[in-house]
Amino acid sequence: MKTTSFKDEADKENPHGVSVKKLYDTEHAQVMHIELKPGESLKKHSTPVDAFFYILEGEGIVEIGGEQEKASKDMIIESPAKIPHRLMNESDSTFRFLVVKVPRQTEQTRLL
């Protein structure tokens, strides 16, 4: 059995300048833990694979395409491949979520 705690993982360098930790990475799927402090946000970007966000803590704004919606604990938000998206924390508390990419993004799909 393999167990992973986000608290034990090192932050992964990223273009957003926020806390990102890789929790799971196989040939089939990838899971990242992201923490946005008050006022932080991801830069608008798209991925070549489908993803979904599972909200662990706090409230934030999820923007996918031209739509924005408030997201809170225990919600799942689908994010289709190749659609620009970003998550923002406009609250006074921490906003934590998982990003699950299925199938896993590879070097080849990253170039698409």
> Tens-of-pLDDT digits for all 112 residues of the chain?
989 988 899 999 999 999 999 999 998 899 999 999 999 999 999 999 999 999 999 999 999 999 999 999 999 999 999 999 999 999 999 999 999 998 876 655 454 4
Q: Which of 48, 47, 112 is nearest to 86 (CA)?
A: 47
Cα–Cα distance for residue pair 34/69, rounded to 1 Å: 18
What are the residue ranges spanned by the domains of the chain?
A: 24-100
Cα–Cα distance for residue pair 82/78, rounded to 1 Å: 12
User: What CATH code would you report for 24-100?
Assistant: 2.60.120.10
Confidence (pLDDT) at 17: 96
Cα–Cα distance for residue pair 88/23, rounded to 1 Å: 21
Confidence (pLDDT) at 111: 47
Where b means 16+ CB within 10 Å and e means fewer, 90-100 reads: ebeebbbbbbb
